[in-house]
Amino acid sequence: MIIRRPPDIRSSEITPKNVYVNRRKFIKNAAFGMAGVATVPAVLNTLESEEPQEIPARFRSMRSELNEPLNSYSDITTYNNFYEFGTQKDDPHRNSGDFRPAPWTVRIGGEVNKPGDYQLEDLLSPQRMEDRVYRLRCVEAWSMVIPWRGFPLADLIRRVEPTGNAKFVEFKTIVRPEEMPGQRAPILQWPYVEGLRMDEAMNPLTLMVTGLYGMDLPNQNGAPLRLIVPWKYGFKGVKSIVSIDFVENMPLNTWKQMQSNEYGFYANVNPEVSHPRWSQAREIRLPGLFKSHPTEMFNGYGDQVAHMYAGMDLSRWY
């Protein structure tokens, strides 16, 4: 189903390490990395990765709503932001092999009539899984087209029956430093926390993700359960979720807590609001090489989400 649509960043965190160190070929990329305008390699799958043996045939001709081809499975699973496994883009792929996404329990609490500890299989059993192609736009100004598999967050919300006091939804990632080496260092304050306003959480585009390319979600992409909000920057997509709380006050999300002058709560894709250290007006569409594409307001989903922000100053509520 296709629906219409951090701390200082070193150039080595924007470009995979094996390409970054090849100075003769990519010296220009490194020179611009600190300004957030770094180029990225045209071929991401030079990282050590293999395509799965069987990608369901329906994905081979699938394209985005903008008639863009999907990024390869290798692209999607070797170039990631998941600081629990490290800050380099290839760290999650290299360092997540010891992570165990099963069995899995999600605690649901706060202002709901049906709180409890839900086993993942029980949480998913009544849901009808859907394949949705969304463009993931990251705050570092790169994006990919990804075929996610999941179910609307709104379905889960209706199931647990939030009370009238629930104004926001707060999500937290698991803390397992023995399996997640990035958590052994104070890169961020753990656990990773994100949140949505209730109307954002109920929007039909907001997806609880359990897979990609029709298969189970890989560890490096947030197994076994993550969030995708396609009109927001990628850091809103909290991964490996273990708790969901319905709260009255706006949650203090991790990146706002760490660097509030650079990252806000809403994180709507907005080409008119620059990051303090680089412009968001243009983006790299991986596996392209340069910032050659104009960034679209709300990542192209304005027709479906702009009404939620009517009257808001989106340069203040960034």
Predicted confidence (pLDDT) per residue in 155-206, tens digit: 999 999 999 999 999 999 999 999 999 999 999 999 999 999 999 999 999 9
Helices (H), ranges, the chain: 11-14, 17-20, 23-33, 73-78, 91-95, 120-124, 153-160, 198-202, 254-258, 302-305
Question: Closest by alpha carbon to 300, among 312, 287, 285?
Answer: 285
Number of folded domains that form the chain: 1
* Both tokens assigned to 242: 């273990």
> Would you say residue 5 lies in a domain?
no
> Would you say residue 318 lies in a domain?
no
Show the low-confidence residues of the chain (pLDDT under 50). 1-43, 45-48
> Would you say residue 76 lies in a domain?
yes
> Would you say residue 150 lies in a domain?
yes
> Would you say residue 314 lies in a domain?
no
**Mode of pairing for the β-strands spanning 207-212 and 142-152:** antiparallel
Q: Report pTM.
A: 0.86
> Would you say residue 316 lies in a domain?
no
What percentage of the chain exceeds 90 in pLDDT?
78
Amino acid residing at 260: S
> Would you say residue 6 lies in a domain?
no
